[in-house]
Chains A and B, each alone.
Chain A
Amino acid sequence: MRYILCADFGSTYTKLTAIDMQDLRTLGTSAAYTTVQTNILDGYANALDKLEKDIGRLDYDKRLAASSAAGGLKMIAVGLVPRLTSNAAKLAASSAGAKLIATYSYDLSDAELAEIFDYKPDMILLSGGIDGGNKDVILNNAEKIARIECSFPVVVAGNKSAADEVARILESGGKEAVITENVMPELNKLNIESAKAAIRELFIRRIIDAKGLAEANAMMSLEIIPTPLAVFNACEALSDFGTLTAVDVGGATTDVYSMADGLPENSAVIEKGLREPFAKRSIEGDLGVRYSIDSLIKEAGIERIAAASGASPEDVIEHSRKCAQDTSAVFPPGSTDAKIDNALAGECVRISMNRHAGRLETVYTNMGEVQIQTGKDLTKTKYLFGTGGSVINSDAPEDIMAKALYSKADYDILKPENPKIIIDRNNILTAMGLLTRVDKKSALSIMKKELMNKEDM
């Protein structure tokens, strides 16, 4: 095996990366507009033309692809209690590479059902009740979901004692139901691998076709996977070098990945709530520098962005108007708009990391001070990776990523204290994640050479 071609069908660009498996290096990359309206392969052909102009025509032994085109894998997670099975369902869908658009708890209301109808999800993950626990809510929700007039498949990952009936109810409403293991079989015990596998299988069998990717899929050596899953796989492989967090800032969402057990650094700390998985992904649908710019500015505060960029609040408003008009807008380095873009990306990083990392709370008891940890302690993670257009194309990517670090202002949030910051400058993370599917060792060697400086290892 000499050459491998990796494709990433993005929402805006189709990106190609050519890899030399003998010399263990990337040979070149190219990008062209994604052509989801006509034929996705038009954009692919355009990108390939560009690549060939750069590195010449090569005989590829394998072609691999990921896709987030046509909205990505749009999923909704449904559970019972927000902090318990709803959260478990959310973690399962996220780690499968879904674009999670909503999470619901308890009995679904008519308003929520109308929302689900409007979202037109590609798939729903339905959980609720630990094994042998509550059955009523998942059964009721199955009845309600069965009546929604959309044809999406449902992954049933709740109380095993209710699973068969839940599947029957869904099927009677014309929905395909796939039963998997409960995402939370025992209280506060997470079990997401089975649900993750079912999501992947459904993506291959039903979603690729529905997204107009069938023809592209037929050209590939392995089935197309969701782009975030490729990044997830790359991060999982990179954890061979040490614990890490990674932030992917996009136009619509910001994704955070952490590869660390996240257990308390201090043995006197009491853990509370769900113990999160070693490999965790979270996705923030309200944080993005283009499509989600309005919700981002609302969350961060216009004054904060103005202060960080040295621009006036009016400039920020003007910038958001420009970005909303042209979601593929790129601004010249050093311009006010570019500075605002940097500040916006920094806020995506800061807020998404605040939501992803665990918290440490000090409680005063008559036995003295006690510290309680919920979520993952990421303070000692060794590496912090930055990727996504607005990070890697910025003139100050390290400054943007520094917003992910532990800060005294958020003293109770267990964010990385002193990681080595690494920027995915050549945008190889997705391609490397794809490569891990055929040859993890080579992918690691290439990442070691091209992403990380050897002396830091």
Chain B
Amino acid sequence: METLIDFFTGTLGLGPTLALSLAYATAIGSLLGFITVYAMFAIWMERKVAAHIQQRFGPMEVGGWHGWAQSPADALKLMFKEDIIPSGANKVLFWIAPAIVFCGVLAGFIAIPFAAGVQIVDIDLGVFFIIAIASIEVIGVIMAGWSSNSKYSLFGAVREAAQVVSYELPSATALLAPILVVGSFKLGDFNTYQAEHGWIIFSNPFMWIALLVYFIASLAGCKRAPFDLPEAESELVSGFHTEYSGMRFSFFGLEEFVSMLLVSAITCTLFLGGYTLPFNFLDVANLAAPFHLLGVAVLIVKIFAVIFVQMWLRWTLPRMRVDQVMTMGYKYLLPWALFAVAGTAVWHVWMEG
């Protein structure tokens, strides 16, 4: 951010307020661009991963090479589709629900460090800011489900509310373990710590439990299989977005992929070394000016590894039942998360005297 502001004030000679606004606009604009491209790629990747697991090819025609243009083509199609609002729907809520869902997740990205200096704001309580802001999504989902005036939609929305709220407990608790190790909530600090001390996942054995708990809980948070009850297509047709069509519908789809990116980014930053390389054999963060951007590539590779596991699970496992999801959250994940936190605390007090 500072570099951008300097660029606008120094090189272009703009006033500080204008420079600040322009810097933020540029940053958020590039973030949006990145997310759009990512989402298209992730959708294509999801279809390819699913296809190969299912012994198919997936998209092969559009664009030539392995159907790479399938997602842009689909996006174009969705944009031109008629925006249908059911006659019994509450129009205002129906209209803004997809925006709220999408904004909530998008806002989480302002605290994610993509590389040294490539971070919009390094918030003091970064980790909890992301958890808190990402849960705004639930409000949007409930609005969508309620305003659709469909029983299936309402069912999906209620399931989503119950599920996401329950799984925030284990996921937030599990994140306390790396926070204990680093001693900070700032996401930037995790990267500097891991560049010095190695990846947090290797800092103590309890961290593996924390990672596993967080990963499972984050799957539930993203409504990914086996926790895709809110949109269980074989039960609730498509859950809360049954009545949506066109671009509004695509926002819900987009939101799922973007929140996958968000939770994977958190997983990578907090457990898997962020943008640092294994054993820090190349100190990416301190490379000369343009090369420190290599960190972005490192982080993206790690993120896609995590996303691949999420996709792999989705196309392998059956869906859980709503009571089993709750049992798992409260009776298994939460105690294990607490155990991991306690274990980490004891380990570090014991090891470091």
Genuine A/B complex: no
Binding site for B on A (CB under 8 A): none
